[in-house]
Amino acid sequence: MACPKCHYQRKPTDQGHPDLCPACGIAINKWRPADEPETAVRTVEARPGLVETLLVPARDGFLWPRAGLWLALLLWTGWFAMHGIDWEVIGGSFMHNINLPFHEFGHVAFSPFGRFMAILGGSLFQLILPLGLAAAFVLQQHNNFAGSVCCWWCGQSFVDLAPYIQDAPYRALPLVAGMGEEAHDWGNLLTMTHSLHWAKPLANISFFVGLVLMGLALYWGYQLLRKQKQAEAV
């Protein structure tokens, strides 16, 4: 073996430790040139992926209240799905009364971006708000179940918009007190974009997307409840 520093070729007759150079005395296996940076061996701690993070359950003892809320949302989702785009069911629900003030605030929030965005802002804000709350619960509060409930709310907001979109050509739905047909958001939006004929398909898409999001949120919540039950049983 040749020494990497002095290039002395070791002979069979050389005495001493085989890892030490008989000529210059360096430890052959540990020596490196002065200009070669030291390679630090670091242990990289594995971080959980997104899916693993989203499936971390709570362990605070509130399993059964969460399970009761989850069951109520499941039944409510089935109620909306069974009746389809029915204004009497959707507009008369408790959730519509929650969505409405946020919808109206969205018009104000998006008004600096022009008339079109001010009109669209109502629908956008009632969709964005639940997603923002879901992100806050998951990333800041580390409360995944609350995040799943907010995602369910976002899906319900899509369902809530469906009859409003479908009514665009007719402008027959009752609006906020004191506002006439000219204040019909989707009637104005689809008229401005020359797409009133898309009212029915867009309403169906909004309703379908809403049901899918509600279903995914319920599945997420179910997995969290299942994992919480397993963790608390240990």
* DSSP label of 193: T
Give phi and psi for 173, each to the nearest 5: -70, 145
- The domain ranges of the chain are 1-42, 50-233
- What residues form DSSP beta bridges with 2? 9
Q: H helices then E strands: how many in the chain?
A: 8, 0
Give the global pTM: 0.78
Give pLDDT tens digits for 45-62.
Answer: 556 787 888 989 888 889
Instruction: Please tell me the number of Cα atoms within 13 Å of 23 on its side-chain side.
Output: 12
CA distances for 138 relative to 60, 72, 125, 131, 133, angstroms: 16, 22, 20, 11, 9
Give pLDDT tens digits for 123-143.
Answer: 999 999 999 999 999 999 999
CB atoms near residue 5 (< 10 Å)? 15
Cα angle for residues 214, 219, 224 (degrees, 5° grid): 125
Give pLDDT tens digits for 11-21.
Answer: 776 666 677 77
Per-residue pLDDT of the chain (234 residues; tens, 9 = 90+): 677 767 777 777 666 667 777 667 677 777 666 655 554 444 445 567 878 889 898 888 899 999 999 999 999 999 999 999 999 999 999 999 999 999 999 999 999 999 999 999 999 999 999 999 999 999 999 999 999 999 999 999 999 999 999 999 999 998 875 566 678 999 999 999 999 999 999 999 999 999 999 999 999 999 999 999 998 876
